[in-house]
Amino acid sequence: MNQVHITQASLRLIVKSLQRLKVQKSRDDLLSDITSDFDNDNGFSSDDINELFNNYELKDMYHMKMLLKNFKSLVKVIKSDKKIVQEYIKSENRKYRKEVQAPAFHNSEKCEWIHKPFTNIRVEDETKVIYNNSGTSAFENMTMTEILGKTQEIKGQLKMLFNTEIASKIKDFRYAPQYKIRNIDKSKYTKEVYDSVIEFHQAKRDVQNILYTIFRDKYNAHLTFDSDILSMLGFRYCKSCASIELLQVAA
């Protein structure tokens, strides 16, 4: 067994791939598992998460936590369908102009490709997308005290949005997937409603990133996983890491 590193983007790719698997858990169980690491006075409670996320998003958060906490616990499930990652990559290729390559694992955290962002053009609206590989956006370099402070800030922001006269309009979109948010018909809503919905969904993404940062910091800070399991999922060995090893051997 060889422990190797993967990028944040590759971890999210596995999480998204697992969407097709059935989770034998109720919504309440998912909420309980996701928030079991948090103090309700400082973090997010089950009620907070329930108010914000749909079932697909809860499954993503649950799988993210389990992948970081106990990767092997999902092996039996994954072995029943070893092509889940490859199939997901194929589906992603239909969304982007540039072909999405099979993900790689790395022997060293210093490999330059670990820190390069994923960039592509979304077919749907010809928008350039950039996903940071080194961590979860602005929260990766925060201390836990700073993250908890940011948590309180976001909770206050959400409370303000839900206390406005247009709260019912915002809640109409609270469980909407991102593609529906991108395609909102602006002519049907006032600028205040539209801007508030966008602000709400940005806050949702911030909440997700905070949860992922806490899970990663607690369970697998360096994103190290068993190379045999990753290979089974269709990951390949990073060519740059292989070249570095050959140079080291030659020296």
pLDDT tens per residue across span 123-180: 777 777 776 665 444 566 777 788 888 888 999 999 999 999 999 999 999 999 988 9
Parallel/antiparallel/unpaired status of strands 236-237 and 104-105: parallel
Q: What is the dihedral of CA 225, 227, 230, 231, to 10 degrees?
A: 180
User: Is residue 236, in this structure, part of any structural domain at all?
Assistant: yes
51: phi then psi, degrees, rounded to nearest 5: -70, -20
Q: Which residues contact 127 (CB under 8 A, 6 or more apart)?
A: 121
Residues 223 and 5 sit within 8 Å (Cβ to Cβ): yes
User: Is residue 235, in this structure, part of any structural domain at all?
Assistant: yes
11: nearest Cα among 103, 101, 116:
103
Residue spans of alpha helices (H) in 81-177: 84-93, 112-115, 144-162, 167-172
Q: How far is CA 109 from CA 2, 4, 54, in A?
A: 14, 9, 34
Our count of domains for the chain comes to 1
Collapsed DSSP state (helix, strand, coil) of residue 146: helix
What CA–CA distance (Å, rounded) separates 159 from 187?
27
User: Is residue 251, in this structure, part of any structural domain at all?
Assistant: no
User: Is residue 207, in this structure, part of any structural domain at all?
Assistant: yes
Least confident range of 43-57, 64-78, 102-116, 233-247: 233-247
User: Is residue 33, in this structure, part of any structural domain at all?
Assistant: yes
> Tokens standing for 95?
């969304």
Partnered with residue 3 across adjacent β-strands are: 226
User: Is residue 111, in this structure, part of any structural domain at all?
Assistant: yes
What's residue 251's pLDDT?
Answer: 47
Residues 39-63 have pLDDT tens digits of 655 678 889 899 999 999 999 999 9
The single-letter DSSP state of residue 102 is P
Place of tokens 């990767």: 71
Widest Cα–Cα separation across the chain: 69
Sign of the CA dihedral running 108, 113, 115, 121: negative
Residues 34 and 61 sit within 8 Å (Cβ to Cβ): yes
Domain range for 71 is 3-246
pLDDT tier at 187, thresholds 50, 70, 90: very high
Task: Tell me the whole-structure pTM to 2 decimals.
Answer: 0.84
Partnered with residue 225 across adjacent β-strands are: 4
| 223-237 mean pLDDT | 88
